[in-house]
Amino acid sequence: MPADIQECPISDGEEEIEGLDRELADLVLSLGDSSLVARWEAIASLIRAGAPAVPRLIGALKDANKYVRWGAAEALGRIDDPRAVEPLIAALRDHDKDVRWKAAISLGSMRANEAVCPLIRTLKDDDTDVRWGAATALGEIGDPRAVEYLLAALDEKGSHENRDGVIIALGEIGDSRAVDALVAALDDRNYEIRFEAVKALGKIGDPAAMNPLLNRLRDENWEVRLVTAEALAHLKEGGVTGSLFALLTDTSSDVRRTVAGILGETGDQQAVEPLIAVLRHDEECRYEAAEALGRIGDPRAITPLQQVYEFCDPCVRVAILNALSAIAMKNRGSPGSFQISGQ
């Protein structure tokens, strides 16, 4: 080699690149550390490194250590570089179930359309968690091609966790072909399945689900009743508002608060009297009732709001004052006092 080349110094830029490459190599090695904390710190550092770390991480998907492969799949999903899609698809066939699961989750978070068909095949994986990951990923990607395969997976016998993931995915895709199967799931014995089926139907927003959802307002589980109220609000069908009034006296304060908020957002004046009853008799939900009455803006709420003011804690008093102000703004020129005595 000529002497002038042998003596050619390494530039600062080249040294910086070499230093970064060594640092990335060390971080990839740390993905296999026996300490969980050390592994997560390495993952976080690789994610911060971004695109320059991608080639190293792609190579790490073939490492003999499963923790290295898992960490690489996690980091690649967070970096969201298109170069990682094909290697992550290949990782769906990894012999370790946790790596397959993480590869599926990462492909979903990347919204990788190229992964739809491989993920559909992964719905047949031997492991429940991997199947759940594939279903979840398909939901995030949102490609309608997955619907018929997800429906087939929903029909198969399996753990409720697996069906749960399929139902969530169908809701995310939002295709009305799933409505009948999701309505059937509303009668499942497991409340978690009913819960997710209600949420999915709310996201799809098909009016055909209204009557089955109305029946879930009497579900034995308060969480199902709560998400049913939210789902019905999404449907925006006439007559839904009145069906929610009964939940203003639900045994769960969470349900009562949620329904009060929903009724306020609808702006339906039919809700004024039921909300006034909550304002007067339900201390736990007085704040939400006041807010809802302010949104509706009906002057009938003025006197009840004034009457309860002195009995309320400071936070509720603020909500009452805001409600009275909102009603005044919506009813300029209307007779009646909008002030609290002594204010």
pLDDT (0 to 100) of residue 20: 60
CA 16/CA 319 separation, integer angstroms: 58
> CA–CA separation, 281 vs 179, rounded Å?
39
Asked if residue 237 has pLDDT above 70, the reply is: no
Residue length of the chain: 343
Residue with tokens 């993480």: 102
- In the block, residue with structure tokens 């709310």: 202
Say how many C-beta atoms besides its own lie within 10 A of residue 15's C-beta. Answer: 11
239-330 topology per CATH: Leucine-rich Repeat Variant (1.25.10)
Rounded CA gap, 35 and 21, in Å?
A: 23
How do residues 9-67 score in pLDDT, each as one tens digit? Answer: 544 445 545 556 788 899 999 999 999 999 999 999 999 999 999 999 999 999 999 99
Residue 210 neighbours by CB under 8 Å, 6+ apart: 232, 235, 237, 240
Residue type, 342: G
Nearest-angstrom CA–CA distance, 85 and 259: 43
CA–CA gap between residue 57 and residue 44 (Å, rounded): 13
Candidate from 7-16, 18-27, 102-111, 323-332 with smallest mean pLDDT: 7-16
CA distance 301 to 322: 13
Averaged pLDDT for residues 290-302? 96
Residue 238 has pLDDT above 80, yes or no: no
Of 66, 46, 45, 64, residue with least CA distance to 54: 46
Parse the chain into domains and list their residue ranges: 239-330
Per-residue pLDDT tens over the stretch 88-100: 999 999 999 999 9
pLDDT band at 342 (very low <50, low <70, confident <90, very high): very low
- CA–CA separation, 77 vs 110, rounded Å? 6
Supply the pLDDT for residue 340.
58
Could you tell me what percent of the chain has a pLDDT over 90? Answer: 82
**Mean of the pLDDT values across residues 242-248?**
94
**168 backbone dihedrals φ, ψ, rounded to 5°:** -60, -45
Q: Long-range contacts for 245-251 (Cβ within 8 Å, ≥24 apart)?
A: 245/271, 245/274, 246/217, 247/217, 248/274, 248/275, 248/277, 248/278, 248/282, 248/285, 250/222, 250/225, 251/222
If you average pLDDT over residues 320-342, what whole number do you get? 75
Residue 57 near residue 84, CB atoms below 8 Å: yes
pLDDT above 80 for 331: yes
Q: Please state which of the ranges 129-143, 152-166, 180-194, 329-343 shows the lowest mean pLDDT.
A: 329-343
